[in-house]
Amino acid sequence: RKEVEQDPGPFNVPEGATVAFNCTYSNSASQSFFWYRQDCRKEPKLLMSVYSSGNEDGRFTAQLNRASQYISLLIRDSKLSDSATYLCVLRQGSGGYQKVTFGTGTKLQVIP
Amino acid sequence: IAGITQAPTSQILAAGRRMTLRCTQDMRHNAMYWYRQDLGLGLRLIHYSNTAGTTGKGEVPDGYSVSRANTDDFPLTLASAVPSQTSVYFCASSEGQGMRYGYTFGSGTRLTVV
């Protein structure tokens, strides 16, 4: 089983729709979780961290479910500019070398 | 503008040639990283450096070497390029170790080895 699994998509949604992605992970020792956004042929950029209690940033909501070992990203009122690939990222360990694992990403295409 | 600069942006390289990918940051971040990104495989760590003067191996270090002579620069060298090293290479930095502080990525180098 892969350490991190994401549905590659693409998710094709109309403007204004709500869309959600999940990311499952296999190592229960994973400590920190993040969502990154990557536009086509560009570098990844941090979208938001994911906290145990869930967190929201404008139209974006991130959730963590440790019992079922997945994180989710909800995007409300989708904009054309939300079209991108969304990477989930996990961190394990503390001090010294911390292992960071990137998912392969879920592609979102918002359609006019 | 503060950030990470990578050079070159893209390169076509003959197999067997040596090449150094440059990475410079002006944020005074302690930790720096080199990743490669291949379709269907996601980002994989090649080498990292937690602070100037130290380096470590990541997930896929074979065929690559790095140095960290100062805080700002973290070059990646391919001693003798092979076609399997065709990839997009991203340099990244973080204020502290690991992902606690989030990563800032450079814009990448697209390398094709023929």
Between CA A36 and CA A31 the distance in angstroms is 16
**A100 shares contact with chain B (CB less than 8 Å):** yes
**A35 shares contact with chain B (CB less than 8 Å):** no
The answer to whether the CB of B2 falls within 8 A of the CB of B103 is no
* Cβ within 8 Å, pair A91-B98: yes
pLDDT digits (tens, 9 = 90+) for A10-39: 999 999 999 999 999 998 877 789 999 999
**Residue A15 exposure: Cα atoms within 13 Å on the Cβ side:** 5
Q: Which has more pLDDT, B102 or B6?
A: B6
Chain A residue with minimum CA distance to B89: A43
Between CA B109 and CA B13 the distance in angstroms is 12
Q: What's the token pair of residue B27?
A: 């944020």
Residue matched to tokens 């009122």: A77
Between CA A69 and CA A23 the distance in angstroms is 9
- Chain A positions in Cβ-Cβ contact with residue B44 (cut-off 8 Å): 102
Chain B residue with minimum CA distance to A47: B102
Instruction: Give the model's confidence band at A54: pLDDT under 50 very low, under 70 low, under 90 confident, else very high.
Output: confident
Between CA B106 and CA B91 the distance in angstroms is 5
Chain A residue with minimum CA distance to B58: A99
Say what the pLDDT of residue B98 is. 57
Lowest mean pLDDT among A50-54, A84-88, B59-63: A50-54
- Chain A positions in Cβ-Cβ contact with residue B45 (cut-off 8 Å): 100
Q: What count of CB pairs under 8 Å joins A to B?
A: 52
Q: Which has more pLDDT, A6 or A91?
A: A6
- Chain B positions in Cβ-Cβ contact with residue A49 (cut-off 8 Å): 102
Q: Is the pLDDT of residue A8 over 80?
A: yes
Between CA B89 and CA B81 the distance in angstroms is 14
Q: Which of A:7-26 have CB within 8 Å of B?
A: none
- Chain B positions in Cβ-Cβ contact with residue A102 (cut-off 8 Å): 35, 42-44
**B9 shares contact with chain A (CB less than 8 Å):** no
Whether the ω angle into residue A10 lies within 30 degrees of 0, i.e. cis, is yes
Residue matched to tokens 């065709």: B86
Q: What would the DSSP string read from start to end of B9-67?
A: SEEEE-TT--EEEEEEESS--SEEEEEEEETTTEEEEEEEESSTT--EE-SS-TTEEE-
Q: What's the token pair of residue B75?
A: 């070059």
Q: A76: part of which helix (H) or strand (E)?
A: none
Say what the pLDDT of residue A92 is. 81
pLDDT digits (tens, 9 = 90+) for B37-89: 998 888 999 999 999 999 999 999 999 999 999 999 999 999 999 999 999 99
pLDDT digits (tens, 9 = 90+) for B96-109: 765 566 899 999 99
**Residue A51 exposure: Cα atoms within 13 Å on the Cβ side:** 6
* Cβ within 8 Å, pair A91-B102: no
Say what the pLDDT of residue B1 is. 60
